[in-house]
Structure 1
Amino acid sequence: MSHRTCTPSRSSWPLAALLLASVSLPAAAIEGPPGPFGERLTIDEKGITLKFPDDAATLRIGGRLQLDFGTGRVQQRGFGTVFDTPIAVRRSWIESYLTLGKELELAFQYDFADPSRPIQDAVVAYKGFKDVIVAIGNMKEPFSLNQLISDNNTLFTERSLADAFAPARNVGLAIGTHGENWTAVTSVFGGNINNAAIGDQGIASTTRVTYAPYLSKDGYDVLHVGLAGSYRSLPNDGSALTLSNRSEAFLFARQFVNTGSIRDAASIGRVGLEAAWQTGPFRLQAEYILTEIGRFGGAPSLSFQGGYVQAGLLLNGKGRRYVIAPNYATEYAVFGGVQVEEAQRVSRGGTGVFELGLRYSAIDLEDRSIRGGIEQDFTAGINWYPDRNIRFVFDYVRSHTSPSPASLNFNRRTIDADAFIGRAQLYW
């Protein structure tokens, strides 16, 4: 149940280089001749698609490659290494999606850059009921707008500090439904599929509901509000619960805030509030998450909190479409990616699409005897979409932290850090 932080994986470099070298998105879709069963193979910006007649079955193979690079500076002496390496593969995914008729969806995603949790989504979804999706497998728990938005479409390289409280992916069963401007998802989850003992990580019940008081027909203008709750019971086996995060840059070598091991944790409850307002190319989005840790032996509970507010502006784009229902799983009521029009593509003589972003986020991991630290981050970024399926991200992150004295041996001194992070992203 600890919030994990990834470390760069050198073993993913050969695959990353292979993916980057082998993927060349065609100027127009390439479609092969019909096969013996009438199936057709197509290669386009969505990847490789094999489609059978009468929509009997469709198989799509895609992927994503995210390469991060940057530099950082910590003002205090004695902090040690800021970045282990100035460049690393953040994600290197192969993704497959199989649609059988109009009722069954299967999805599998594998991340070669993450040695600890390589399997991402591994889901079977049934869509035979009107406006209802029943999904089972390893998937995101329905909690937090920012967590549910694909990392292909996030405004910055990393999600906010408050993402330390989001449960992310685990094995479970989810049932979701929606109307024209509302959604509701409820679920039961165990542990993560990549852990040997899925059932030994407790049982969680997670629910999220959203409502859009205003939603334009094209989905580019919306007022969104949401409420999510999650409660997970934890086994009384002495295993530790840890909540932690580091500045909003993947390359940071050390965590700034960390509760340390909480070995008497009996449960973890979360409540999340979310809101977003988008009008055309401008979007304002905010979340607040309160987390409470129940403890064995009658010890008083612990409360931690975090949140963010961010704004994004597309300088020469029409905005991000608000998507009510997903193809599968739990990603209801989220914002999609930036669309690059044909004339804007660099490959067609255009300049691409540019996007600006600002964010303030904070996390508080201090309560009672737990002195995990308090951090505030300010992030300013610019995204460039030169063509479809390609994105470059450039972020500046300023962090001010009263860190955990136990983890950094800084007593109660504060830490001020600056990071410049870039990302080259290819997705199809």
Structure 2
Amino acid sequence: MSSPRRWSRSPVSAPILALSLACLGGTAAIAEERLVKGEPRRIEKAGEPKREPSGAKADADKPPITLDEKGITARFEDGSKFRIGGRLQGDFGAGRVQQRGFGPAFEEPAAIRRAWIETYYSLKGFEFAFQYDFNEPRVPVSDAIVAYKGFKDVIITHGNFKEPFSLDQLISDNISQFTERSQADAFAPARNFGTAIGTHGTNWTAVTGVFGGNISTGIQNNGIASTTRVTYTPWLSENRNDVVHLGLAGSYRSLGDDTSSPGLSSRSEAFLFARPLVDTRTIRNATAIGRVGFEAAWQQGPFRLQGEYILTNIERRDGRPPLFFQGGYIQASVVLDRKGRPYRVAPTYGSEYGVFTGITVEEGQRVSRGGTGVFELGLRYSAIDLESREIRGGIEHDFTAGVNWYPEPNIRFVFDYIRSHAEPSAAALNFGRRTVDADVFIGRAQLYW
């Protein structure tokens, strides 16, 4: 995160959405053609009972063509498989800022947050993935990778993907606890182009990599970073639902003379919020950015407690003293009438080792089967401090209370209330040293497959 993160609100055009649907339809047509040719194929639909074997035996037991909440998956005789999926997230809400002159909290009451198309291909130890967000004109490419898994318990990934830093960042936004990540996410480097190698044991993981800039904005435009993360679970139940998680991550990015000057900012934890309450603006003469992150989580049955603390150091040339910024969060959640989120030790590819996965909606809990879905309640406190020496970016404290409702395996509704207090407000707001308070309600309707 070497430059300010700006969120786009541009609408998704009808032709682009049509193209996405056409891609899905084309894959379905291929499956239908194979059926017509007389091959013993059947399509497994989302409502049918699922079997949960693992490994090669799992794929051998499944029909060659499946259609479920994970999208359309085609399995071939050579052992390879191809999947196409996506996600669509629409946000809506309202807010109030208690500061004269700020203007409306939201520029618009509703907008598309993400509109992704995703493709994955697996072939004899290799993994290929490509994700594209039609709603993000600045950085539309998310993951674009090739990974090799031919060595036991080792994954080598090359391409554009997440640097191994921050539990909150590494958990997919498709299944995140709240609509947005915490204030501390301003310090997480997120996705960049590079190479990483990861490995794991029964109760530990380690991944390290070297990264340049983001593939969408220029691989050579952000210096070079080395990022490493290790995790350890002193307690992990056999079903991977009860766990104590500890993690430590570090990142050091050297900025070249031609690198754009960094900046740090964070909005109240809502996509629709008009502008940041805290903002360092551009930090001149920066030569390097160092980050250290500490993370811990405990989950017992449906209850989970999770927290992080991140310290960021920005070195400067011309004998200027370094800058230090910090942030963190603590959150608690409970899943009603259901066990908690399963813990995943190793990913399919990339750096997402040692993370929590999504909520499972059982067949009898589905609204379409007469159930009421699954509800998840969450509370979070987060804070960020962007003041160091002459940089007066501000300090913000956010309190969030949220409810997630999963009526079906691939549908989610999120409702969050956020109370923000910035003290002082960002210099860019021209409010001097006065405080800014905001009350925000944000909702999200989400479809993912």
TM-score normalised by structure 1 residue count: 0.94
> What secondary structure is seen at the aligned counterpart in 2 of 1:154?
coil
Contact 1:184 1:209 in 2 (8 A): yes
1: CA distance, partners of 2:21 / 2:151: 40
Task: For residues 30-75 of structure 1, give each alpha carbon's deviation from its aligned partner in whole angstroms, at most 9, with x where no partner exists.
Answer: 98638699884332221111110151x1000000010000000001
The Cα shift of 1:5 comes to 2.4
Q: Could you tell me which residue of structure 1 aligns to residue 28 of structure 2?
A: none
TM-score normalised by structure 2 residue count: 0.90
1:168 equivalent in alignment to 2:168: no
Summarize the Cα distance change of 1:321–1:13 in structure 2 as closer, same or farther, 3 Å threshold.
farther
The Cα shift of 1:239 comes to 2.9
The Cα shift of 1:405 comes to 4.6
Q: Could you tell me which residue of structure 2 aligns to residue 4 of structure 1?
A: 5
> What secondary structure is seen at the aligned counterpart in 2 of 1:147?
helix
78-87 or 359-368, larger mean C-alpha shift: 78-87
Structure 1 unaligned regions, length at least 5: 25-29
Q: Could you tell me which residue of structure 2 aligns to residue 79 of structure 1?
A: 102
Q: What amino acid maps onto 2:191 in structure 1?
A: R
Q: Which of 58, 65, 69 is the aligned partner of 1:41?
A: 65
The Cα shift of 1:424 comes to 0.3
Give RMSD over aligned pairs: 2.1
> What secondary structure is seen at the aligned counterpart in 1 of 2:353?
coil
1:411 equivalent in alignment to 2:428: no
Q: Which of 356, 363, 388 is the aligned partner of 2:409?
A: 388
2: CA distance, partners of 1:82 / 1:59: 43
1:128 equivalent in alignment to 2:150: yes
Q: What amino acid maps onto 1:377 in structure 2?
A: D
Q: Could you tell me which residue of structure 1 aligns to residue 46 of structure 2?
A: none
1:286 equivalent in alignment to 2:288: no
The Cα shift of 1:178 comes to 0.1
2: CA distance, partners of 1:122 / 1:274: 27
The Cα shift of 1:316 comes to 1.3
2: CA distance, partners of 1:48 / 1:291: 42
> What secondary structure is seen at the aligned counterpart in 1 of 2:12?
helix
1: CA distance, partners of 2:118 / 2:296: 30
1:145 equivalent in alignment to 2:167: yes
1: CA distance, partners of 2:443 / 2:214: 30
The Cα shift of 1:81 comes to 2.6
Summarize the Cα distance change of 1:175–1:35 in structure 2 as closer, same or farther, 3 Å threshold.
farther
Summarize the Cα distance change of 1:259–1:236 in structure 2 as closer, same or farther, 3 Å threshold.
same
> What secondary structure is seen at the aligned counterpart in 2 of 1:66?
strand
Task: For residues 80-103 of structure 1, give each alpha carbon's deviation from its aligned partner in whole angstroms, at most 9, with x where no partner exists.
Answer: 1311110000000000000002x0
1:323 equivalent in alignment to 2:323: no
2: CA distance, partners of 1:16 / 1:315: 35
Contact 1:259 1:404 in 2 (8 A): no
Q: Which of 295, 310, 314 is the aligned partner of 1:274?
A: 295
Contact 2:96 2:104 in 1 (8 A): no
Contact 1:227 1:271 in 2 (8 A): yes
2: CA distance, partners of 1:238 / 1:335: 35
Q: What amino acid maps onto 1:82 in structure 2?
A: A
Q: Could you tell me which residue of structure 1 aligns to residue 219 of structure 2?
A: 198
Contact 2:395 2:424 in 1 (8 A): yes
Task: For residues 104-160 of structure 1, give each alpha carbon's deviation from its aligned partner in whole angstroms, at most 9, with x where no partner exists.
Answer: 000000000101000000010000000000000000000000000001111000000
Summarize the Cα distance change of 1:10–1:167 in structure 2 as closer, same or farther, 3 Å threshold.
same
2: CA distance, partners of 1:134 / 1:424: 35
> What secondary structure is seen at the aligned counterpart in 2 of 1:260?
strand
Summarize the Cα distance change of 1:220–1:144 in structure 2 as closer, same or farther, 3 Å threshold.
same
Q: Which of 329, 348, 359 is the aligned partner of 1:308?
A: 329
Summarize the Cα distance change of 1:379–1:20 in structure 2 as closer, same or farther, 3 Å threshold.
farther
Q: Could you tell me which residue of structure 2 aligns to residue 332 of structure 1?
A: 353
Q: Which of 106, 116, 132 is the aligned partner of 1:93?
A: 116
The Cα shift of 1:11 comes to 3.5
1:109 equivalent in alignment to 2:131: yes
1:370 equivalent in alignment to 2:371: no
Q: Could you tell me which residue of structure 1 aligns to residue 447 of structure 2?
A: 426
- Using the aligned pairs only, state the percent identity: 67
2: CA distance, partners of 1:386 / 1:198: 41
Contact 1:239 1:263 in 2 (8 A): no
The Cα shift of 1:200 comes to 2.9
Summarize the Cα distance change of 1:23–1:107 in structure 2 as closer, same or farther, 3 Å threshold.
closer
Task: For residues 343-399 of structure 1, give each alpha carbon's deviation from its aligned partner in whole angstroms, at most 9, with x where no partner exists.
Answer: 000010000000100000000000000000000000000000001110000000000
Contact 2:12 2:115 in 1 (8 A): no
Q: Could you tell me which residue of structure 1 aligns to residue 257 of structure 2?
A: 236
Task: For residues 248-286 of structure 1, give each alpha carbon's deviation from its aligned partner in whole angstroms, at most 9, with x where no partner exists.
Answer: 000001111100111200000000000000001110000
Summarize the Cα distance change of 1:68–1:218 in structure 2 as closer, same or farther, 3 Å threshold.
same
The Cα shift of 1:302 comes to 0.1
Contact 1:12 1:92 in 2 (8 A): no
1: CA distance, partners of 2:22 / 2:364: 26
Contact 1:231 1:268 in 2 (8 A): yes
Q: Which of 74, 84, 93 is the aligned partner of 1:70?
A: 93
Contact 2:222 2:259 in 1 (8 A): no
2: CA distance, partners of 1:329 / 1:143: 12
Q: How many residues align?
A: 420
Contact 2:223 2:259 in 1 (8 A): no
Contact 2:308 2:329 in 1 (8 A): yes
Q: Could you tell me which residue of structure 2 aligns to residue 178 of structure 1?
A: 200
2: CA distance, partners of 1:302 / 1:35: 66
Summarize the Cα distance change of 1:238–1:349 in structure 2 as closer, same or farther, 3 Å threshold.
closer
